[in-house]
């Protein structure tokens, strides 16, 4: 059902049936290390290139999520997937072997939200019993894609974030579980004109602010009606800007805000500067840390808001700004 | 309604309400030249870079499609868009100013099919009255992205295709028109192991074959029940492979097959080698040439199958194969 300006409230809400998280070594050493399904000790995941490693990680996450529910690829009607690399190649190569009809997505680090939104819309629209949503990012492939090859050992400003090596996969459907996606708020592109690709938190905060407020208005919720409002990867810089922007519009979410990028690493000991980022950051944190709390009922209702910085090496070399986008997913214990 | 293994047959089929095509100079000089809504004489579209030109073209196509139906951006619930550039930047920058909540997509040249599928699924799922689907490609930005900057004047093999400079935008909804999207067949990634990025027709033909046969099986149609089966951009090389592959599986579509890449340019006089390609090829041909025939009832039912070659410069430099994907859209006169 259409809800307000940008949202959908599902009449029959899809269940989040299964999920899995696969991460790299550094993520395994972080505060959530023991919660991930699989921690690989070598970030190449047995492959020759970072790109192939990311594909393998994504495939493993899908297989694990299916395996937990004893599902085969043939049981999954459609797959919604994406990553940060040019032409979404990690996803194309990663999910190819599964043979599931697929939709390739790009929403930068907001892709986990985009994939969950479309997968839940497809279940609620009666287009299939099981849908898969998967995203990934890899520190090695992302540094090569957007910044410098790792061998250059370049210096990173304190506002830079550390791309999470990880993939999260989710299966949505009609089969009962303890978590439902009850609604979604699809984000608009928001551009405050910032051009610093090494300060993505600042670039994404306005989009997060926009989507969160739109969600509260569309659904008529007060911020406190969410156990947590969880952004994807604003990091320390982006969070502080988000708080300022929201205060400017009369909202205070300081008490119940959480950011996956600030949760997945220990900034003090892991040298991750402003925090974690990447499609895999929000997805693996949702699977490993957030969902268990929802399943147990420790959290009743959360707003999950993966945030993306829409840029490419070409766009920032040509002097374009870095607009942001954020999609909101309402998850509830049931 | 779920139909067969990979398809959906809509119970209440969305209407294709409006569309627009914007193309460059060379496309304007081709066989369909007079049918496009807008032909720009300068391929930079008044901008400084090919990327900005592509964004402007995409924005113009959206505005034209809305203008024809006297719709404003605020009337469009969600936008589904994509292009060929890394991180879909032409779409992000192009549609940013419209302020429509958006889903960024990547399916290489199959993106027009992916966008139409998701937009029609969203209308039929009652998620809004109007949805927009838009895709684009630009010869200048695509050569720079995938091959060489134009200034290098590199030689192109005869199997190479010419990326169409063009954008097609479509508005789907519940308001009555003379064309409905009655079903979709979502494609799987199909990989025959080909590694020649300059022979995309060969890379995509197996995916087209797969999706077409799946569509016929899922819906129980004979190939002749379609006025035309229209692939996106297989070109001359890909078409001949498609015919061979389909004959091998007992299907003959020679009589009613059409390829947008072989239709949009005159191979003899325009030096376009194996034919046109790009997200904009299928989209602009659909808007300018195919839809008018469906609206008049000259064609009753067509299967529109945009085809994509899933590769990036990194993947082919690393020796990966170029898998294909194709999505099928069933359009009917009503």
Burial zone of A192 (CB within 10 Å; 0-12 exposed, 13-18 middle, 19+ buried): middle
Query: What percent of chain A clears pLDDT 70, i.e. is strictly above it?
Result: 100
Quick check: A6 and B101 CB within 8 A? yes
Grouping H, G, I as helix, E, B as strand and the rest as coil, residue B57 is: helix
Return the pLDDT at A92.
Answer: 97
Tens digit of each residue's pLDDT (9 = 90 or more) over B32-91 = 999 999 999 999 999 999 999 999 999 999 999 999 999 999 999 999 999 999 999 999
H/E run at residue B133: strand B130-137
Give the strand pairing for B38-39 and B301-305: unpaired
Which of B79, B177, B78, B75 minimizes the C-alpha distance to B127?
A: B78
Yes or no: say if A261 and A235 are a contact pair by the CB < 8 Å rule: yes
Closest partner CB to A122 (pick from B85, B87, B121) = B121
User: How crowded is the C-beta side of A187, counted as CA atoms within 13 Å?
Assistant: 38
A20 and A103: one domain? yes
Domain boundary among A141, A173, A205: A173
Domain boundary among B139, B173, B207: B173
Q: CA A168, CA A54: separation in Å to the nearest integer?
A: 12
Residues of A whose CB is below 8 A from B77 = 2
A294 in a structural domain = yes
Q: With 90 as the cut, is the pLDDT of residue B213 above it?
A: yes
Quick check: A89 and B312 CB within 8 A? yes
Return the pLDDT at A129.
Answer: 97
Tens digit of each residue's pLDDT (9 = 90 or more) over A73-89 = 999 999 999 999 999 99
Shortest distance, CA B274 to any CA of chain A (angstroms):
23
Give the strand pairing for A15-23 and A7-9: unpaired
A122 and A197: one domain? no
| Mutation target vs A (from B128, B197, B315, B327; most A CBs, 10 A cutoff) | B315
Quick check: B104 and A105 CB within 8 A? yes
Which of B137, B161, B291 minimizes the C-alpha distance to B239?
A: B161
Quick check: B88 and A95 CB within 8 A? no
Backbone angles phi, psi at B332, to 5 degrees: -130, 145
Beta bridge partners of A133: A80, A170
Backbone angles phi, psi at A79, to 5 degrees: -115, 135
Quick check: B49 and A188 CB within 8 A? no
Return the pLDDT at A107.
Answer: 98
Q: CA B61, CA A321: separation in Å to the nearest integer?
A: 23
A290 and A262: one domain? yes
Quick check: B114 and A122 CB within 8 A? no
Which of A221, A196, A237, B322 minimizes the C-alpha distance to A229?
A: A221
Q: With 90 as the cut, is the pLDDT of residue B224 above it?
A: yes
CATH number at residue A235: 3.40.47.40
Closest partner CB to B127 (pick from A121, A126, A128) = A121
For residue A11, what are its two tokens? 């009449």
Closest partner CB to B191 (pick from A2, A96, A106) = A96
Return the pLDDT at B151.
Answer: 87
B157 and B186: one domain? no
B205 and B154: one domain? no
A206 and A112: one domain? no
Q: With 90 as the cut, is the pLDDT of residue A155 above it?
A: no
A162 and A187: one domain? no
Closest partner CB to B103 (pick from A95, A118, A314) = A118
Closest partner CB to A103 (pick from B48, B93, B114) = B114
Q: CA B214, CA B5: separation in Å to the nearest integer?
A: 8
Shortest distance, CA A52 to any CA of chain B (angstroms):
9
Closest partner CB to B188 (pick from A101, A104, A186) = A101
Quick check: B105 and A105 CB within 8 A? yes
Yes or no: say if A232 and A112 are a contact pair by the CB < 8 Å rule: yes
Q: With 90 as the cut, is the pLDDT of residue B320 above it?
A: yes
Mean pLDDT, residues B176-192: 98
A4 in a structural domain = no
Domain boundary among A173, A201, A225: A173
Q: With 90 as the cut, is the pLDDT of residue A203 above it?
A: yes
Residues of B whose CB is below 8 A from A108 = 87
Question: Which whole-number Å values give the CA distances from B138 to A23, B278, B280, in the listed order?
Answer: 37, 8, 8
Yes or no: say if A189 and A210 are a contact pair by the CB < 8 Å rule: no
Q: CA A228, CA A257: separation in Å to the nearest integer?
A: 6
Quick check: B186 and A103 CB within 8 A? yes
For residue B78, what are its two tokens? 């969600």
Yes or no: say if A290 and A306 are a contact pair by the CB < 8 Å rule: no
Return the pLDDT at A56.
Answer: 98
Yes or no: say if A94 and A45 are a contact pair by the CB < 8 Å rule: no
Yes or no: say if A289 and A261 are a contact pair by the CB < 8 Å rule: no
Residues of B whose CB is below 8 A from A188 = 99-102
Closest partner CB to B189 (pick from A96, A105, A128) = A96
Confidence band, pLDDT 50/70/90 cuts, at residue B241: very high
Residue in chain B lying closest to A185 (CA): B101
Give the strand pairing for A179-185 and A328-333: antiparallel
Average pLDDT, chain B: 97
Confidence band, pLDDT 50/70/90 cuts, at residue B16: very high
For residue A18, what are its two tokens? 């299964």
B161 and B289: one domain? no
Q: CA B144, CA B162: separation in Å to the nearest integer?
A: 13
Beta bridge partners of B211: none
DSSP-derived secondary structure letter, B149: -
For residue B94, what are its two tokens? 């192009």
Calculate helix-pair angle for A111-124, B111-124, nearest 10 degrees. Answer: 50
A58 in a structural domain = yes
B161 in a structural domain = yes
B183 and B324: one domain? yes
**Per-residue exposure over A255-268, b if at least 16 CB sit within 10 Å of its own CB, e if not:** ebbbbbbbbbbebe
Q: CA A257, CA B117: separation in Å to the nearest integer?
A: 36
Q: Mean pLDDT check: name the lowest of A145-149, B69-73, B277-281.
A: A145-149
Q: With 90 as the cut, is the pLDDT of residue A148 above it?
A: no
Q: CA B242, CA B245: separation in Å to the nearest integer?
A: 5
Return the pLDDT at B281.
Answer: 98
Confidence band, pLDDT 50/70/90 cuts, at residue B269: very high
Q: With 90 as the cut, is the pLDDT of residue A11 above it?
A: yes
A5 in a structural domain = no
Return the pLDDT at B149.
Answer: 84
For residue A285, what are its two tokens? 């944190």
- DSSP result, A227-288: SEEEESS-HHHHHHHHHHHHHHTT---TTTEEEHHHHSS-HHHH--TT-EESHHHHHHHIII
B284 and B256: one domain? yes
Q: CA B308, CA A195: separation in Å to the nearest integer?
A: 32
Shortest distance, CA A1 to any CA of chain B (angstroms):
6
A193 and A286: one domain? yes
| Mutation target vs B (from A315, A319, A324; most B CBs, 10 A cutoff) | A315
Tens digit of each residue's pLDDT (9 = 90 or more) over A26-47 = 999 999 999 999 999 999 999 9
Quick check: B122 and A121 CB within 8 A? yes
Quick check: B106 and A82 CB within 8 A? yes
Q: CA A40, CA B28: separation in Å to the nearest integer?
A: 54
Question: Which whole-number Å values give the CA distances from A325 to A7, A111, A203, A328, B273, in the listed order?
Answer: 15, 10, 9, 10, 39
**Predicted complex ipTM:** 0.98
- Residues with Cβ < 8 Å from A265, sequence gap 6 or more? A26, A27, A30, A31, A162, A272, A275, A276
Residues of A whose CB is below 8 A from B118 = 103, 118
How many domains are contained in chain B?
Answer: 2
For residue A217, what are its two tokens? 């208005």
Tokens 């929000």 belong to which residue? A282
B4 in a structural domain = no
A159 and A194: one domain? no
| Mutation target vs B (from A50, A56, A112, A314; most B CBs, 10 A cutoff) | A314
Residues of A whose CB is below 8 A from B78 = 186
Query: What percent of chain B clears pLDDT 70, i.e. is strictly above it?
Result: 100
Query: What percent of chain A clears pLDDT 90, i.e. is strictly above it?
Result: 96
Return the pLDDT at B154.
Answer: 85
Backbone angles phi, psi at B103, to 5 degrees: -115, 120
Quick check: B312 and A82 CB within 8 A? no
Closest partner CB to B323 (pick from A77, A96, A125) = A96
Tens digit of each residue's pLDDT (9 = 90 or more) over B99-157 = 999 999 999 999 999 999 999 999 999 999 999 999 999 999 999 999 988 888 888 89
A1 in a structural domain = no
Mean pLDDT, residues A9-24: 98
Residue in chain A lying closest to B86 (CA): A86
Quick check: B314 and A86 CB within 8 A? yes
Domain of A34 in residue numbering reads as 15-173
Query: What percent of chain B clears pLDDT 90, i.e. is strictly above it?
Result: 96
B6 in a structural domain = no
Beta bridge partners of A184: A8, A329
């Amino acid at each position: 059902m259409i809800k307000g300006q940008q949202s959908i409230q599902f009449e029959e809400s899809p269940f989040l049936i299964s999920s899995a998280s696969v991460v790299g070594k550094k993520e395994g050493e972080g505060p959530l290390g023991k919660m991930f399904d699989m921690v690989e000790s070598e970030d190449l995941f047995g492959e020759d290139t970072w790109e192939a490693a990311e594909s393998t990680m994504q495939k493993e996450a899908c297989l694990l999520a299916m395996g937990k529910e004893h599902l085969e690829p043939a049981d999954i009607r459609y797959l919604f997937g994406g990553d940060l690399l040019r032409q979404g190649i990690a996803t194309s190569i990663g999910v190819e072997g599964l043979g599931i009809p697929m939709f390739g997505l790009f929403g930068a680090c907001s892709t986990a939200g985009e994939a969950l939104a479309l997968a839940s819309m497809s279940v609620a629209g009666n287009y299939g019993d099981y849908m898969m949503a998967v995203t990934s990012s890899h520190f090695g492939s992302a540094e090569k894609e957007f910044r410098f090859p790792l061998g250059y050992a370049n210096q990173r400003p304190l506002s830079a974030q550390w791309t999470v090596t990880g993939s999260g996969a989710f299966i949505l459907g009609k089969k009962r579980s303890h978590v439902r996606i009850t609604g979604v708020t699809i984000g608009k592109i928001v551009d405050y004109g910032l051009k610093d690709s090494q300060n993505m938190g600042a670039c994404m905060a306005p989009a997060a602010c926009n989507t969160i407020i739109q969600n509260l208005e569309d659904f008529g919720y007060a911020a406190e009606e969410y156990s947590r409002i969880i952004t994807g990867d604003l990091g320390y810089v982006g969070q502080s800007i988000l708080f300022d922007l929201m205060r400017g519009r009369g909202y205070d979410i300081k008490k119940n805000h959480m950011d996956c990028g600030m949760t997945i690493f220990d900034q003090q000991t892991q040298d991750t500067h402003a925090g974690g980022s990447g499609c895999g950051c929000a997805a693996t944190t949702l699977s490993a840390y957030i969902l268990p709390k929802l399943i147990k009922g420790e959290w009743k209702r959360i707003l999950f808001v993966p945030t993306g910085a829409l840029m490419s090496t070409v766009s920032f070399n040509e002097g374009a700004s870095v607009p942001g986008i954020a999609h909101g997913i309402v998850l509830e214990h049931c």
